[in-house]
Amino acid sequence: MEVNISVQLREKVAAYINRDSRRKTVDDGIDLLHQTGYKPNVYENFLKNKFRRDIPQKIDRVLRDYLRYPINPNDPDHDDIENEIPSEVNVNIEKVTAEIDQDFANKEYPDVVKRVLTEYSDLYKQRSILHKELKEIGETNSEDAVARRKTIAASILGVSHRMEELWKSYSAYKDSGIVPSDDLFNKPFDPDNPSSPVETKKQDTGITLADDIEGLKKQKENWRIKIAKAENKLLYQSEKKLAKENPMPKGPKRITLEKKIERMKVEKEQIEYAIAEQS
C-alpha cells in the first residue's frame, strides 16, 4: 500500500473510531475493516455475525489495533504478528502508536510528520520480524545459515539506523516545531537493501567489540541483561520484575533512561552483526 493511501485510510479509520456511536453503523465499520485488508478472517466473522450486540465494540477494537499495528496485509504471518514481537520492545513504539491513534483523527500533524510516524511504525514491525528470523536460524554454521545470518543482521542495523533518523526528525518537530524536510523521503528506504549503515553504527556506538566469537556471545548476553534491567526500571522502578507494575513517572530521569535503552539496543545489534560476520 502506498504511504499516502495508507495515511488517508488511517485517517478514515481514526475518524470512524472517534465518531459519535449514534452516527456509526456496523456496515460502515465492517466495510472500513475490509478496505484495510487487516485480519481478513476477523472481517469474515464480523460479516456473518453483524447483528450480534457485541459486534460494534469489537469492530472498534480491531480498527484500533489496525492503527497501532500498521503492517502489510499480504504478510502470511499477518493474523498472528502481534504475538510474535520479541520481548525487547522499542520503548518509543508505545508513544508512537498512541499518537497515531489519537492525532491522526485530530489531523494535528503535517503530512510529512504523518509519513514519519507511519514509516517508523512499519519499520518497527519489520525489525521485529527480522529479529524473529535471526533467532530461528540459531547457531548452525552451514554456508547458507552463515550467509542468511549476516544478511539479516545487516538489515536489522539498517532498519534501526533509519528508525533513529525518523525518530530524531519527529522529536525535533514535537520539541521545537521543526517540520521534517521532504528530503527524508527522496529515496524510499528498502529494508532488504539498506544503504550501508553498518560502518556508521560502528562509529556511532563507540563500544569495544570482543575479538572472538565466544567473547562476542558473552557480550551479547551482557547487553541483553542490561537492557532487560533498564526496561524493568521503566516499568517497575526496579531492576527486577515485581508482582505489580509501578511505571517510572514522566520527566528527565525517564527520558534519559529511554535514550540509554535505545542506545544499548543499537549496540546489541552491532554485536549481533559482528557475530554474524565471524560465524
DSSP-assigned states of every residue in 192-223: TS----HHHHHHHH-PPPPSSHHHHHHHHHHH
**Same-domain pairing of 273 and 202:** yes
Cβ-contact 75, 81 below 8 angstroms: yes
Non-local (6+) Cβ contacts of 259 within 8 A are none
Per-residue pLDDT at 6: 62
**Same-domain pairing of 100 and 224:** yes
**Same-domain pairing of 118 and 247:** yes
Per-residue pLDDT at 85: 33
Of the residues 81, 109, 124, the one at which a domain ends: 81
> pLDDT averaged over consecutive 10-residue blocks of the chain (279 residues)?
58 80 86 85 86 86 73 41 36 52 61 84 80 79 81 83 84 84 80 50 61 87 91 90 87 85 84 78
**Same-domain pairing of 53 and 92:** no
**Same-domain pairing of 190 and 93:** yes
**Same-domain pairing of 105 and 167:** yes
Q: Kindly state the helix (H) or strand (E) to which residue 6 belongs, with its residue range.
A: helix 3-18
Of the residues 30, 50, 81, the one at which a domain ends: 81
Non-local (6+) Cβ contacts of 260 within 8 A are 230
**Same-domain pairing of 72 and 96:** no
Per-residue pLDDT at 53: 84
Number of alpha helices (DSSP H) and beta strands (DSSP E) in the chain: 10, 0
Q: Which three cell numbers stand for residue 138?
A: 540459531
Q: What angle do CA 50, 42, 62 make, to 5 degrees?
A: 90
**Same-domain pairing of 190 and 60:** no
Question: What is the C-alpha separation between 231 and 236, in angstroms, rounded?
Answer: 8
**Same-domain pairing of 241 and 146:** yes
Of the residues 28, 63, 81, the one at which a domain ends: 81
Polymer length in residues for the chain: 279
Q: Domain count for the chain, please give it.
A: 2
Please state whether the predicted TM-score (pTM) of the whole model is above 0.85: no
**Same-domain pairing of 158 and 274:** yes
Provide the residue type at 30 as one letter.
Answer: I
**Same-domain pairing of 96 and 226:** yes
**Same-domain pairing of 13 and 146:** no
Question: What is the C-alpha separation between 47 and 43, in angstroms, rounded?
Answer: 6
Its domain, for residue 273, covers 85-278
Cβ-contact 14, 101 below 8 angstroms: yes
Per-residue pLDDT at 104: 53
